[in-house]
Amino acid sequence: MDFHCEATALISRLLYDQDHNEGRNAAEFFTPDGTYHPAGHDPINGIDAIERYFRARGVRLARHIVSNVVVLSQNLDAAEVASILTVYMAGETGAFPANIVAILDVHDSLRRFDGQWRFSQRRMQLAPLR
């Protein structure tokens, strides 16, 4: 599998866990010293803190759609990847239509850990719409 596919698969598996499992396994996608930095929040450092963050969020009626995945740089053990993340969220009842609540520019720093690509840092910021 080429690296672009590997990076896209890693991002998709994390987002699938967020959408279908409330992010209960999200910390497993990060290196032990990994950082998760959601837009508008302070960075969350380390897998224990990332796990607590997702546990505290609880159930959300949301879907995360990734697009425009671009590998900015890559070597044997590290890579930089950019993408766009569109977040749709439904009301408390899950009634349609779901609304777009955020369009985010995402920058991921990936590192090999135990032979697997993991997020060492995932930073999100609201995309400037011009």
CA-to-CA dists, residue 4 to 16, 34, 42, angstroms: 18, 21, 29
- Going edge to edge, which strands form the sheet with 44-45? 44-45, 30-37, 116-126, 99-113, 78-89, 62-74
The whole-number pLDDT of residue 19 equals 92
The whole-number pLDDT of residue 70 equals 97
Domains of the chain (ranges, CATH numbers): 3-126 (3.10.450.50)
Reading the chain (130 residues) residue by residue, the pLDDT tens digits are 699 999 999 999 999 999 999 999 999 999 999 999 999 999 999 999 999 999 998 777 889 999 999 999 999 999 999 999 999 988 766 666 788 999 999 999 999 999 999 999 999 999 887 7
CA-to-CA dists, residue 80 to 7, 19, 49, 99, angstroms: 10, 24, 23, 30
The whole-number pLDDT of residue 57 equals 83
The whole-number pLDDT of residue 49 equals 97
φ, ψ of residue 96 to 5 degrees: the values are: -90, 160
Helical (H) or strand (E) element with 47: helix 47-57
